[in-house]
Amino acid sequence: MHYYFSRGYRIEVDDRLSEGTDKDSMIQSGEPSVNALNRRLVDRNFNPESWVDVSAVLEQAILLFGGFKNWVLDQLRANTRVFGHRAEYLVDTVGFILNGKRYMTNESWLLLISGMDAGATVKTPLGTSVDSLLNRLDSMSDEEILQAWVSNKSGVIDLIDALFIFFGHHTQSDMREPI
């Protein structure tokens, strides 16, 4: 069974959610642990050079994505709510992981994605147009993918921003100003 977040991204419902999380309220409030990480970043109470802080981010990424490659493929090939800007953001995220560059800032993506109808779906989700990019991930383990992500310039911050866009609060008011 899948659980959909307010921006259309989904996870399989299991024990990966925060203990005591009300699954019905998550569509509006997001995953509490992700909201807390984002709040620390917004309040400038996060140190991307601290292993304690970085390991907390990686732990949340592992818990929510499960396996990143499979999560991305599920979003792009099977999740009918991920199309348009939502799919483009995923592709841009994979590009950042592999190349260290984004087409647009996470803040710009959030504005575009937040403007989409959360319940909108398409019958044929994006799939074949991104196969070559996704194939580059195929030779990497999920651990290597996360390592590559956080090794990029501002990669830890990018990962927090991405977690917030995928699983966080449904408004953009909690997004930090670009660094």
| 85-137 confidence digits (pLDDT tens) | 888 899 899 989 999 999 999 999 988 887 766 555 654 444 444 677 778 88
Contact between 46 and 26 under an 8 Å Cβ cutoff? The reply is no
Has residue 151 got a pLDDT over 90?
A: yes
CA distance 74 to 99: 22
Query: What is the distance between the alpha carbons of residues 38 and 89, in angstroms, rounded to a whole number?
Result: 18
